[in-house]
Structure formats: C-alpha cells, structure tokens
Amino acid sequence: MTKTFTDIIPAQSLFGRLRANAPDAWQSYVCHDFIKQLGDGSLPEAAFKHYLIQDYLFLIQFARAYALATYKAEDLRAMRQFSGTVHAILDMEMSLHLEFCKGWGLSEADIIAQPEARACVTYTRYVLDRGMQGDVVDLQVALMPCMVGYAEIANRLMASSDTRLAGNPYRAWIEMYASTEFQDVAKAEIDLLEHTAKNRGGDARIKSLTETFATASRLEADFWQMGLDLAK
C-alpha cells in the first residue's frame, strides 16, 4: 500500500505532536467545506477566484515571513533553506500563481488592485507577529499549517472517494499540491522544524507552541471560509 503524506510524518516529531495536540483546529482547516467542495467540483467559481486573489496577496507576506526566518535562524543550514524559500516564492511561485490565475480570467493588475481581505490580514500579521515576538521556532510553527497543510489537503483529496477529478475545474489545483515536488517541500519543512527545535528547546515549549499552531490552523480555516462567505 502506498504511504500517504500523513503516514510519513513521525508521530513523535514536533510537527506530529503539535497536530495531535490540536486536532479540532487542524481538522477545521484540512477538512473545511471549501476543500470538500473543491474536491467534488461544486465550489462556486466566485469563491475560488476570491481565494486566488487573496492567496497571491498572502504570498507577499509569506515571503516577508520567510525573510524574517532567515534573519532569526541560528545556523547556515536553516538560513540557506529559509532564504531558498524566499527566492522560490518571489521568483517562481508568484509567477506560477499568476499564470494559473490567467486561466481564471484574472490578470496581475486585477489582483493587485484588490485590498487584502480581513482573513488574509489577520493570518499573515499573526504569523509575522509571532516571528517578531518569538524566535525562529515560534515563527516556523506559525507557518507550518500553510505549507504542510496544503500538502496534506491535496493528499487527502487524491485519496478520497468523494473527490471527482474528471471534469473538475479545480483538478489542476489539487494535482499541483499533490505533486511529488510539493510533497517533498512540505516534508523538508517538517525536517527543518525538527532541526531548529532541537537547538531551541522545542520539547520544553510544547504547550505554547501548540497554542500557536492551533491559532494558525484556525486562521487558515478562516481563509477558506472567506471564499464561501463571499459566495453566499
């Protein structure tokens, strides 16, 4: 049997424990109705297009967060990986996102002209605030639901009998995040968290880190909800 993304995460890794300690917050995110509707193709187009716009604006703040992580890192391995992520977001992912948006009739000018939605502002500034107030581990934990959550969501969708790929307008989105390339990136994020946490006493901080992880997961769920609210 092929192992799923969930299967390859060691239960005793810091990420594995954080997810186990905040099951309700995590499930509210990875099993949100937005995701279920995206999987079966019933998600309203207006909801998805709003998400695409906000996700691009989110990426700008995401790049800033990883730049902050580069500054906060305490060894060259972490600095190189974080700075590589900044480069990947600014020079590759944002361009790919714009290309994807073109297929939905959205130009860069259309996207930039839109203000950040409240859910986008709330989540991204929370992440940056955790990074400014805490250390690199606090920042990483706040970032984890996004990178790792998308990998798990896509993996769940590909494995679900409720998912419809044939004729699904959102198939390309699902397959993009289910790709081996993205799954490997998410796994690398988990490995890097394990590395940095060992140097910053992660085990002794599990309670506060769980609170950060749970809050970030709920804010991710709110990010999905904004699209559904728009379509009502």
**Contact in structure between 227 and 156 (CB atoms under 8 Å):** no
Is 101 an active-site residue?
no
CB-count exposure of residue 183 (10 Å: 0-12, 13-18, 19+): buried
Residues found in the chain:
232
| Distance of alpha carbon 21 from alpha carbon 17, whole angstroms | 6
Is 146 an active-site residue?
yes
Give the active site residue among 146, 175, 181, 194: 146
| Distance of alpha carbon 151 from alpha carbon 171, whole angstroms | 15
**Contact in structure between 40 and 163 (CB atoms under 8 Å):** yes
Helix axes 45-72, 33-40, angle to 10 degrees: 120
| Distance of alpha carbon 34 from alpha carbon 56, whole angstroms | 18
Give the active site residue among 101, 120, 189, 220: 220
**Active-site residue list:** 146, 220
